[in-house]
Structures are given as C-alpha cells and as structure tokens.
Structure 1
C-alpha cells in the first residue's frame, strides 16, 4: 500500500524507469547537485542527479564514488553535451555502473548515446521542439525532459504549460516524458501527470534544502526573492548563440553582458572558433555560480533560479519537501 495511491498510479511508468519510489527528478544544478543533496533526494524516494557541469573525469569519478557511499538508491549523472571530454566522462559513468545518464545542453554528439547504452544505462534527453524530441527518441533516448522557460539556469524560449500541451498528447502514449520548469507545488504536478507525464523535474525547490551545500547567503537571496526577480540573460551578439540563463538579477547578470561583449570581440579579432567561444561562456557560468553557491558572493556571483523561487521561503529537509509535493498532488487528484 502507498500513502499516495492516485499519484503513484500516474507515476508508475516513471518510477519503474527510474527505480525510485517517486518519479520526482532533481534538476542538475552545478555546485548544488553534489553528493550531499543527490544522496538525500534518492534516500527520500526521489531521484537525485549529479551535475557534472565543467568537472574533469577525475572529479566526476570522485563524486560518483562519494554519492554511492551515501546512498544505495538509484541516482543519475547529468553530462553537458559540449564538454570537450564527454566520452571520458561516459567512461567514468561506465566504470561505476551508473544506471541513468542525462544529456543536456544541445544535440548529443555522434556515438555518445550509443556509448552510454552499450554499458546498459538509460539515456534521458532534453528537447526544445517536438520535431527534435521525436528525433532524439528515435536515436536512442529512453526518456525525455520537457523543460519550459520558467526554469532556472539554461532555458529555452517557450513556457512549460505550452510545451506540455504540445508534447504530451503526441508523445506520452509511446514514450516516457517528464515535465520541468517552474514547478513549485504538487497541484501543478497533478495537472501534468493527468496530461500524460510520467513524472516531473524540480531544481529551484531543492536548491535551499537543509542538505544543500549552498552558502547561507545564497539561500537567503532565494528566501527574499519573488518570481519576477528571476530574469533571463540578454544575448548581446547574434553571432554568439548563447543559451539564455535565468538567474536572480544582481551585479553578476550585468557582468555576464560584459563577458559576452568580450568574447564577441575575440571572435572578431582573434579568429576564436565558435565552440571555444561557447566553452568560454560555460566556464564563465561555472565560475560565477561557484562564487555565489560556495563562496556566498551573492552580488557578483550567479544566482541561477527558476521563477518558482517565490515559493522557496525557508530551509527544509529534502524528505519534507518531497512529502509536501506528494501530499499536495494526491489532495489535488482526490478533489477531481
């Protein structure tokens, strides 16, 4: 028997796929989604995901081993497709028998999906359009995350509610689709499950959990913020296709605009290649995030947050957050 029978029934395909009690994924947040938070989420019945971000293979190796020491429950690893050592990172996942690999940040390079599936892991992909979603699922993606622009971090241009209406009727019967972006309460989860999603992904809601290593200053900035404080970055140069990033507005968001101008100038004067230009931007974000999350510099660092930040009011244990979400979802389904 489960305490949440209606929710569990709608999440059944998702929980069977993930191997977790609840089909609630934690979005991979660089510097935040590390061993402590990931293991806490998995131990509480959700599905934690390590944010590899700009980690070297050696660092990822250490992080996976440390997470396995803290939980016997399943968890995943999020890899950025443009990482120059992507295939080395996949080998690290293979070494540890990682069960689920999330590929984010662009179209997976040739051979990467096959390399992951070769050692028996499941591949979770992101897609901003329905056509690309179908292509990635045909090419070996086992599940899809549909993430709307309300999310924190790197975002697309379309809202979660519109994407859900577009993707779920077309895909949910034959494929596993998780919905993400701006989800802060269980009532929203109920709606997406009823539309055909097999589960959801949340990041912002977990960023300030008791088990999160984020600096107290970082957490306080979240507690003070409301939805309209989480703004998308501006693209300065059309030749530099920088994926917009949603974060709390501060000096750091202004500095990012200056960084884009600097990289654009290097494209002009130094013949910088586009891939290298984009990597420079990614490294900027990794450093800016670290300043905020680890050092507590909330003025100059990057406070990546989704628009659900207004629902984050205090530090809470991960288990309590998941229990609240499941209770709210079940109550909403009961009222139907």
Structure 2
C-alpha cells in the first residue's frame, strides 16, 4: 500500500523524467560526471551531467561516455552565462539528450527555443514565485525550487518557504521538483504531499561509491555537521556574486581575497561586469576541481549543502535511493494510519 501511495505521488515526476524514481541528482561540477550520472540513472533515479565550464568538445565526449554506461535517460545541466551556450545546446541536440537543465539566471534570448527545437524538455531553477511564473510563460517545461540550504550556488530563501510559496501556485501547471537540504525520505514524502512532482538531491550523492570524488573530499563530508556548511560572503555590492555554500576552510578565505581582486579590476575599468563574474565562476571551478579531483581539502572548495551531516559513509547509489524510498514510504504509511 505504501509503495503504491509513494509511486502515485511520484507518478507525474517519473513520467516527465522517464525514470522509475522521481529523484534528480543535482549537477555538481567535477562530481556529476559519467560514473555518478550513469549509476543514478541505472538505479532508477535521474542523473544530470554538470557541464559547468566544459567546452563543447568535452561535453560531447562526456555525453557519449555516459551513454556507453547507461541506456536510461539522463539530463545535462548548462550554465546560462557560458560564452558558448548555444554550441553546448547543439551538442545536446546531436546526442538527443532528453532533458536540459538551465542554471544561473534567466535563459538568454533564443536559448529556450534552441533547446526545445530538438524535442528536449527544459527544466529551470525558480528562486522566487514571480520568476517561476515568468519561466513557465516563456515555455519552460518543469521547475526546480532550490532553497538556500543547498550546496554550491544558492539563493537567499529557505527550501520550506519557497515550497510553500511556489507549489500551491505552480504545481498544477508544470512538474515542480524541490531541492536544498533534503537528506532523508521523510522530507521527500512531505514535499510530495505538498504537490511536488519529485525532489533533487546533491550532497547525499556526492560521496557515493560511484562518485569519483577524492577520498579526502569524501572524508571531509563524513566529518562535517550541518553548521560547517556555510555561505560565502559578498564583499562588494557592485559585484553581484551569487553566494556559494561550502565547508569552512582556507579556500573560503581565498574566495574573499579573489572578490577584492576582481572588484579592484572593476574599479580600474580593466574588466566589465560579465568578465568579472566569469572570473569568479572560474575561481570556483578551479577551487572545486582542486578539492574533488586532487583532494586539496584545505585550499580547494568543498561545496556541500546543510544535509552534509546526514552523509556518514560511502555507499552505492542504489542503496542511497532504496533507503530514501523506504523512509518516504514509511512516513506516508504513518501519516495514513
């Protein structure tokens, strides 16, 4: 009975994604690559490649390599400010990628049409109700509502508040997936009952056995508690830097110094705003690579959500998904009783 109830609540999400479990994996740069993405899709969830700063050639190779590891659907996450966005969209189209996720601000002119021209479904992030409505009007097929508890780039509002604000208004129009700080199935059940079509988790999957993250990176997650995952501070109001949530270390302090450096370049007129923001993006990409790939857990960036305290051991993706589903089904059963 319980699994039937859970399946019926997830039906809209699974139908939209084309998978068995309406759990998306958040696109984590350097972590959400072929191994983790294919493992999540093979386990019934929905893996998403993090394109990040990849060139079209690199993305082409990554999609092909992922296809070699899974026959199940998966998506590709593209950053709106990528200078070669339209070339990346063309790569996704060539590979018949079924779902494209656009992150990092409003989709630039023509990008929605370009993505949908090949029949791909488009998912966008909605950090506010007004933006959710605007995105749906412009043709977006589904939304991710991500709260500030998430790891990586974050908005200013908590997941529970966004869910209460956006689900009642938008859930009937398009599938809405809730993200940010979700670490257990009980929370998944609650958001499904509120009208969500499914959820997105990143932090819980970052240390899966199939994740290529360095053992030192994983160990830092196992040791951390929720309060260790802090948001970066913006030092110059003219430089609208999206805050990033990661584990407190020397790398976080380096970011403050980098912001000062870029703000000075702006003052001197040596860079424009777009270039300034790209420099900051590249800083994060490099710092994240040092932590994830090289294991530099002091100087690198340990992007993690506040659910990091619930990540206590390395385990296979299939076990993580199975555990979340049991917890969700049990919670629904308790409420029904």
TM (norm. structure 1) is 0.99
Which segments of 5 or more consecutive residues in structure 1 lack a partner in the other structure?
none
Do structure 1's residue 289 and structure 2's residue 288 form an aligned pair? yes
Give 1:4 shift: 2.0
SS in 2 for 1:236: coil
Counterpart of 2:184? 185
Question: Residue 233 of structure 2 corresponds to which residue in structure 1?
Answer: 234
Partner of 1:89: 88
For residues 141-220 of structure 1, the aligned pairs below 5 Å read 141-220=140-219
**Corresponding residue of 1:50:** 49
Tell me the SS of whatever aligns to 1:231.
strand
Q: Which residue in the other structure is 2:113 paired with? A: 114
Q: List aligned pairs for 1:4-15, cutoff 5 A.
A: 4-15=3-14
Q: CA deviation at 1:235?
A: 0.1
- 1:110-140 deviations in Å (ceiling 9; x for gaps): 0001000000000000011100110001101
Query: How far apart, in 2, do the equivalents of 1:168 and 1:65 lie?
Result: 35
Report the alpha carbon displacement of residue 271 of structure 1 after superposing the two structures with TM: 3.5
Unaligned runs of 5+ in 2: none
Contact 2:2 2:332 in 1 (8 A): no
Partner residue in 2 for 1:64: 63
SS, match of residue 122 in structure 2: strand
Match of 1:268 in 2: 267
Q: In 1, Cα distance between the equivalents of 2:3 and 2:299? A: 43
Query: CA-to-partner distance for each residue in 1:146-185, whole Å, 9 max, x for gaps?
Result: 0000000000000000000000111112221000000000
Between the two proteins, the alignment pairs up a number of residues equal to: 335
**Which stretch shows the higher mean deviation, 109-118 or 268-277?**
268-277
**Equivalent-residue separation in structure 1 for 2:96 and 2:174 (angstroms):** 24
CA distance in 2 between counterparts of 1:5 and 1:218 reads 38
Q: 1:33 to 1:252 in 2, by over 3 A?
A: same
Asked if the contact 2:37–2:47 (Cα under 8 Å) also holds between the matched residues in 1, the reply is yes
CA apart distance, 1:3 = 8.0
User: What is the rounded CA distance, in whole Å, between the counterparts of 2:181 and 2:195 in structure 1?
Assistant: 18
- Whole-Å separation in 2 of the counterparts to 1:169 and 1:91: 35
Output the aligned Cα RMSD: 0.8
Give the Cα–Cα distance (whole angstroms) in 2 for the partners of residues 186 and 3 of structure 1: 13
Spell out structure 1 runs of 4+ moving beyond 6 A.
Answer: none
